[in-house]
Amino acid sequence: MLIRVLGSAAGGGFPQWNCNCGNCSGLRAGTLKAHRRSQSSIAVSVDGRQWVVCNASPDIHQQIAANPALQPHQGLRDSGIGAIILVDGQIDHCTGLLLLREHRAPLELWTTETVREDLSTGLPILNVLKHFCGVHWHRIPVDGMEFQIPALPGVALIALPVEGKPGPYSAYRENPRVGDNIGLIFRDAGSGRQLFYCPGLAGIPPAVERVLGASDCVLVDGTFWSDDEMIRIGVSHKRASDLGHLPQSGAGGMAEQLARLPQATRRILIHINNTNPILDEAGPERAQLVAAGIEVAHDGMEIEL
């Protein structure tokens, strides 16, 4: 199984277009040792030709341009993207669907039932797409049943419902439902190896802990370093917990949780917010992660399992 990180930043990207925080201004000025990052997406493939894109970010054109495997291979209209799967209905994960509207056939799209509802009501992308290529929608089961995507032969997928909120445009924003946010388990029958991809995680209940412990590689929520990061910088009044993200530092934080995993597990943070001090490759927070054996995903990162 091949995994390619298309975009490693949280919503807004890095630098964020309207942000002058220390990280964003430092990157623009060239004074910060850091790399630009596009918004949250990975691609998974078995053969390197046909890819399943997990989350269609608003940066998807730039991501296709940076990843030749996703570009047309043969014929007049073609794509290396065989299917798209969403872990939630947030803007940074689904608005790229609109940018694929020229597809020659309906997009093969996999979401939970609740995400389909949000994308047909509060943020009606699926209705809009009916005027273009349309989608061929497939339900992601949220009861722990395995499912397969034809574009990923030999890979069993399982959705793990996780705690979190749907987008602010959802009628269920304050009353989240099972299926609003999921993590995805990819199990390659050939190699027997398992990936867990979960860019939004509000906490680590026992079910999530078990999946983390059983995976060979975990690509998990790296949004914020501290709960009050955005408040301290002055860019928002929201805490990490208000947005459904478990911060890395502090008691019970992501770094502490990842330290419990078996030695051989590859542990990688993804969906990193532009305010997060771990983006500074010369900073003490990044050094702390390196010492703990935790990697920070970057655009273009390749993983083979």
The answer to the question of residue 92 lying near ligand MLT (CB under 6 A) is yes
Q: Which residue is nearest to ligand MLT (CB)?
A: 11
Cα angle at 216 between 214 and 221, to 5 degrees?
85
Q: Whose Cβ is closer to Zn ion: residue 114's or residue 274's?
A: 274
Q: Whose Cβ is closer to ligand MLT: residue 135's or residue 240's?
A: 240
Q: What is the C-alpha to C-alpha distance for residues 57 and 6, in angstroms, rounded to an integer? A: 9
Q: In what order do the strands lie in the sheet with 41-45?
A: 135-139, 107-111, 81-85, 51-54, 41-45, 2-7, 302-304
Q: One symbol per residue from 262 to 281: x for binding Mn ion (CB under 5 A), - otherwise; what is it? A: --------------------
Q: Whose Cβ is closer to ligand MLT: residue 86's or residue 195's?
A: 86
The answer to the question of residue 58 lying near ligand MLT (CB under 6 A) is no
Q: What is the C-alpha to C-alpha distance for residues 240 and 168, in angstroms, rounded to an integer? A: 15
The answer to the question of residue 183 lying near ligand MLT (CB under 6 A) is no
4 DSSP β-pair partners: 43, 302
The answer to the question of residue 277 lying near ligand MLT (CB under 6 A) is no
Q: Whose Cβ is closer to ligand MLT: residue 10's or residue 32's?
A: 10
Residue 243: contacted member of Zn ion, Mn ion, ligand MLT, none (CB under 5 to 8 Å, by partner type): ligand MLT
The answer to the question of residue 92 lying near Mn ion (CB under 5 A) is yes
**Secondary structure of residue 164 in the 3-state scheme:** coil
Q: Kindly indicate which of the ranges 69-77, 89-97, 115-123, 248-256 contains the residues binding ligand MLT, using the contact rule CB under 6 A.
A: 89-97
Cα–Cα separations (whole angstroms), residue 290 to 66, 293, 305? 27, 5, 21
The answer to the question of residue 247 lying near ligand MLT (CB under 6 A) is no
Residue 110 φ/ψ, nearest 5 degrees: -120, 120
Cα–Cα separations (whole angstroms), residue 219 to 133, 288, 304? 31, 18, 13
The answer to the question of residue 94 lying near ligand MLT (CB under 6 A) is no
The answer to the question of residue 5 lying near ligand MLT (CB under 6 A) is no
The answer to the question of residue 86 lying near ligand MLT (CB under 6 A) is no
Alpha helices (runs of H) in the chain, residue ranges in sequence order: 22-29, 60-66, 91-94, 113-118, 125-129, 206-214, 229-233, 254-259, 284-291
Residue 91: contacted member of ligand MLT, Mn ion, Zn ion, none (CB under 5 to 8 Å, by partner type): ligand MLT
The answer to the question of residue 91 lying near ligand MLT (CB under 6 A) is yes
The answer to the question of residue 243 lying near ligand MLT (CB under 6 A) is yes
End-to-end CA distance of the chain: 5
Smallest CA-to-CA distance from 101 within 74, 70, 125 is with 125
Residue 178 φ/ψ, nearest 5 degrees: -60, 125
- Name residues contacting Zn ion, limited to 273-292 (CB under 5 A): 274
Q: Which residues of the chain form contacts with Zn ion (CB under 5 A)?
A: 16, 19, 21, 24, 274
Q: Which residues of the chain form contacts with Mn ion (CB under 5 A)?
A: 10-11, 90, 92
Q: Which residues of the chain form contacts with ligand MLT (CB under 6 A)?
A: 10-11, 90-92, 200, 243
